[in-house]
Structure 1
Amino acid sequence: MSKLVLMQGNEACVEGAIKAGMKFYAGYPISPASEIAEISSVKLPKVGGRFIQMEDEIAGAAATVGAALTGIKSMTATSGPGFSLKQEIIGYASMAEIPCVIVDVMRGGPSTGLPTSVSQGDVMQSKWGTHGDHPVIVIAPDSVATIYELTIKSFNYAEKYRVPVILLLDEVIAHMRESVELKDDIEIINRKIPKGKENFISHELTEDFVPSMAPLGEGYKFHVTGLSHDETGYPSNSNEIAKNLIDRLLNKIEKNKDDISMYKKINTDHCKTLIVTFGSTARVCKELVLEERIEDLGLFIPYTIWPFPDKALLKILEENEINKIIVPELNAGQLVSEVKAIVGDKCKVVALNKYCGEIFNINEIKDALKED
C-alpha cells in the first residue's frame, strides 16, 4: 500500500524520519530548518516519541546523541551557523560510534549571512567540520520525494554503520512542495544488538568493522568516551591502540563504500560533456538534459556527497569520450575540488559558481556549456 501526498520538503524529512523509526528529536529554531522542529513537535507524540526544544544548538546535538545511546533513533536539524555549533558533538558521536541523523538545511553565509536564501555552502563543512580524521556519511536529496526516501536511508546508514549521518538539504528543496509517494514496503534497518551480556565488548573489531551496540540502562557493562579508547571503550594513550581505532572507524565507511554510495545517471551513455551537481542545482540541469535534450550532454547526481561515488563517475569517463565536466554549485567552489581529485588529467573540469542567494537559471548553465 502507498499513498500520494502533497507536502513541503521539510515535512517530507519528518515523515521519512518517523517512517524510519525516529522516536526523539532535540533542536533549536533556525531558518530555513524550523519547520522540521515544528512538525516533529506535533507528530512525534502521536507515535510515542518525544520532542524537546533545547537552549541552544550544542545542547540540541548533545541531547540527540544522549537519546541515541539509550537505543532510540534520534535526529536534530539546523542550518549553517547552528551546524557549526554542533560540530564538536558530531565529532564525539563519530569517536564513540553513536548513530544519529543531523539535518543541515543550507542557507547563505558565512555568519548570519542570508538566513532565508538558498546556498550549497556547507559541502566541505559536512565532511571536515569537526576536527580530526573521522567517519561520516553525507546525503544530498534533490527533490521532496528524495528527501523522504533519503531521510529513511540516513537512519538506515546511521544504524547499520554506527555513525552520525548528515542529511544535506538546501533552502529551495526544503521549502518547495511536490507530490510524494509514501510507500509502506521500505526497508528499515536497526542497529546490531549484542547476543548476550556476558563478555560483551563494545568496540570490538568485527568483519564489517561495525561492532554491535548495547543500549544504556539495560544491564550491559560498557564505557562511552570521546577519548581514544580500546575495544572495551576505556581510554588509552597507546599509539598502537589509537591507530587501530582510527583505522577501524575509517574502514567501516571506506570498505563499505559500494554499499553506501548512491547516485543517479541521466543520458550518460554517449555523452561528451558531463554535468556533476546535486540538490536544487541538479533540478535545473535535469531540465536541460531531459526536456531541452542538449546533444551529447549527460548528468551525474551524487546522492552521497561523502563518500563520493568515485567508481561510478570514473566508469562514465571510461565508457565515453568526455571532453569536459562542469560542476555547478551554489558556493564559491567546494564539490569541484573532489571531482578534480577523482578525475585527474582525464578531462577538463570546470567550476560554475553562484553565491548570491538565488538558484541557477537554465541560461547560465547553457552559457557555461558553450565556453571553451
Structure 2
Amino acid sequence: MIIRGDEPEQVALIKKLYRPGNYFMQGNEALSYGALFAGCRFYAGYPITPSSEIAETMAKELPKLGGYYVQMEDELGSIAAMVGASWTGFKVMTATSGPGFSLMQENLGYAVMTETPLVLVDVQRSGPSTGQATKGAQGDFFQARWGTHGDHPIVAVSPTGGQDAFWEVIRAFNISERLRTPVVFLFDGVLAHTRERVTIPPAEEVEVAYRKLPENGEEAGLPFGDPHGDGVPPMPLFGHGYFTHVTGSTHKENGLRDVYTPEVHDRLVRRIHRKIERNRDVYEKYEEHFTDDAEILVVSWGVTARPALGAVLKAREEGIKVGLFVPKTVHPFPGERMKQLGKKARAVLVAEMNLGQMIIEVERYINDDVLLKGVNKIGGVPLTVEEVLREIRGVA
C-alpha cells in the first residue's frame, strides 16, 4: 500500500488493527473500511442521513491509523477542507446525501479544475429538496455528471452491495490518484443501511495506487503540464519545498492565472478532458450476466441491479433468453459495450430507482428498431424481483 511513502508501517498497522475474515456490517461501514484500506487518512464532513454512519466509522477509526477526522460547519466547508488536505499529500474522502451533494457542487468543480484527487460519496436519498430523508433512491445519476457548472469530465462509480462497496471505494481512490481527479461514489440509502456479510481481506492483498509526484524541479514547476504525455500532471505537494500556485481560474501549465488568452483555456480544458477520455482502462468497469445469447437485455445499476439479477435468473429458468448489463463506472458511461450489446437485443429494459435517468444514456447507444422501456419505481422502496420479472415477461 502506498500512503505518503510510509506504506510498510501502514500495512503493519492495518494488519494489527483489522483481522481478515467475515464480518456482518452495514454498507456504510463496509465502504468506510474500504476507504481506510485504500489509504484514506483525512475525512472532513457534515453528518446527513443516510450517510451518517460513514462519518461515525471514520471518526472512530482514523485516529488509530494516524489520520484525521474533522466535522465541518457545513458541506461547503467539508469539500473545501478536502481539497486543501489533498494538496498536502493526504488521500481524502467525504460523504453526504442529496442536499449536501448539491452544496458541494461548486467546490467539486474547483477540484476538477485544479485536478485534485478526492473521493466524494453521495448516499442517494429521495428528493427533490429534503424529500424522504431516511429512504434510498437513485435520483442523482445526472447530478453526479452535470451538477457543477462548466464543460468538464467526471468519473462516477456505483457499487451493488456492501462487499462491492468495500472494493469499489478502493477502486475509486485508485482512479482518483492515477488520473489526479475527483471521483464521485454513488451509493444509496438502501445499500447503506443493509447489513450483510462482508469479507475483509489481508491488507497486503489490496492493491493501492498513489498519485504521480514530480521527478525533478522542472516538473514541479509545471503542476498543470503534461510531461509524460498521458494528460496527467505530477502533483507537487504543499509543504514539500515547492512553490505552487493553485487557482480555479483558467491557468497556464505553471499554475499562474490567465483568464484572457483563449488558447490557454482551450489547452487546459481539453487536456483535462483528454486525460479521462484516453484512460478508460483505468476506470471503465461493468458486469455482464447471460449476455451471450440475450434477446432481451436488462440494464441496471447500484441497488436495483440486485433484484434485476434475481429477475433475470428466474426468467432464464422459464426459458426466456434475457441477460443483464451492470455498469459499475456509470460516468463516463460504457457506451461502446452498450452499443455492442444493443445490436444483439430486440428489447432493452432499464431498471432504476428513479423515473428514468440512465435510460437516457442507454438510448444514445442502441438502434431505433430496438424496444426500449424503463422499469422505474420511486417512493423510497426498491424494485422487487417480481416487478422486474413481470416487465421481462411482458416483452418476451
1:273-309 Cα shifts (integer Å, max 9, x gaps): 0000111110001112235535201000000000111
- How many positions carry a matched residue from both structures? 370
| Secondary structure class of the residue paired with 2:69 | strand
> Do 2:342 and 2:348's aligned partners in 1 also have CA atoms closer than 8 Å?
no
Residue 314 of structure 1 and its aligned partner are, at CA, apart by: 2.2
Q: 1:135·1:163 contact (CA, 8 Å) conserved in 2?
A: no
Structure 1 residue 202 corresponds to structure 2 residue 229: no
Q: Give the structure 2 partner of residue 302 of structure 1.
A: 327
The 8 Å contact of residues 333 and 351 in structure 1, kept in 2 or not, is answered as: yes
The residue number in structure 2 matching 1:175 is 193
Match of 1:151 among 150, 153, 169: 169
Q: Deviations over 1:92-125 (max 9, x none)?
A: 0000000000000000000000000111000000
Partner of 1:371: helix, strand, or coil? helix
Structure 1 counterpart of 2:40: 22
Deviations 1:284-339 (A, max 9, x none): 01112235535201000000000111222222234x3x111001111121111000
2:206 maps to which of 155, 161, 186: 186
Which of the numbers 333, 336, 350 marks the counterpart of 2:359?
A: 336
- Which residue, out of 43, 47, 56, partners 2:61? 43
Q: List alignment gaps of at least 5 residues for structure 2.
A: 1-18
SS of structure 1 residue aligned to 2:142: helix
Which residue of 214, 224, 234 maps to 2:246? 224
1:323 maps to 346
The Cα shift of 1:363 comes to: 2.4
Q: CA deviation at 1:178?
A: 1.5
User: Partners in 2 of 1:303 and 1:272 — Cα distance?
Assistant: 22
Tell me, in whole angstroms, the C-alpha distance in 2 between the residues paired with 1:80 and 1:333.
17
Residue number in structure 2 paired with 1:362: 385
5 Å matches for 1:287-298? 287-291=310-314, 293=316, 294=318, 295-298=320-323
> Which structure 1 segments of 5+ residues have no match?
none
For the 8 Å contact 1:144–1:178, the answer to whether it is kept is yes
User: Does the Cα contact within 8 Å between 2:219 and 2:234 map onto a contact in 1?
Assistant: no
Q: CA–CA distance in 1 between the matches of 2:369 and 2:233?
A: 39
Q: Is contact 2:298-2:349 (8 Å) kept? A: yes
CA distance in 2, matches of 1:55, 1:160: 31
Length-normalised TM-score, structure 1: 0.97
1:197 touches 1:219 (CA, 8 Å); kept in 2?
Answer: no
* Contact 1:119/1:355, CA 8 A, preserved across alignment: yes
Equivalents in 1 of 2:297, 2:44: separation in Å? 41
Matched, 1:53 2:71: yes
Contact 1:76 1:101 in 2 (8 A): yes
Structure 1 residue aligned with 2:180: 162
Tell me the SS of whatever aligns to 2:120. strand
Matched, 1:72 2:93: no
Residue in 1 that maps onto 2:150: 132
Query: Aligned residues: percent identity?
Result: 43
Q: After TM superposition, where is structure 1 displaced by more than 3 Å over at least 4 residues in a row?
A: none
Corresponding position of 1:259: 282
**Secondary structure of 2:383's match?**
coil
TM-score, normalised with respect to structure 2:
0.91
Distance, in Å, in 2 between the alignment partners of 1:370 and 1:111 is 36
SS of 1:23's equivalent in the other structure is strand
Structure 1 residues 176-185 or 121-130, which shifts more?
176-185
Counterpart for residue 215 of structure 1: 237
Inter-partner Cα distance in structure 1 for 2:372 and 2:360:
9
Q: Distance in 2 between matches of 1:292 and 1:326?
A: 14
CA deviation profile, 1:44-91 (whole Å, cap 9, x unmatched): 000000001000011011111111010100000000000000000100
Cα distance in 1 for residues equivalent to 2:168 and 2:218:
37
Deviates more, 1:121-130 or 1:345-354: 345-354
- CA distance in 2 between counterparts of 1:147 and 1:78 reads 15
Separation in 1, partners of 2:256, 2:124: 37
Give the Cα separation in 2 of the matches to 1:220 and 1:155.
25
Partner of 1:245, secondary structure, is: helix
Aligned residue number for residue 112 of structure 2: 94
How large is the Cα RMSD of the aligned pairs? 1.4
> 3-state SS of the aligned residue for 1:337?
helix
The answer for the alignment partner of 2:368 in structure 1 is 345
* Aligned equivalents of 1:19, 1:52: Cα separation in 2: 19
Describe the superposition over 1:259-278 as per-residue Cα deviations: whole angstroms up to 9, x where unpaired: 31110000111011000011
Could you tell me which amino acid in structure 2 is paired with residue 365 of structure 1? V
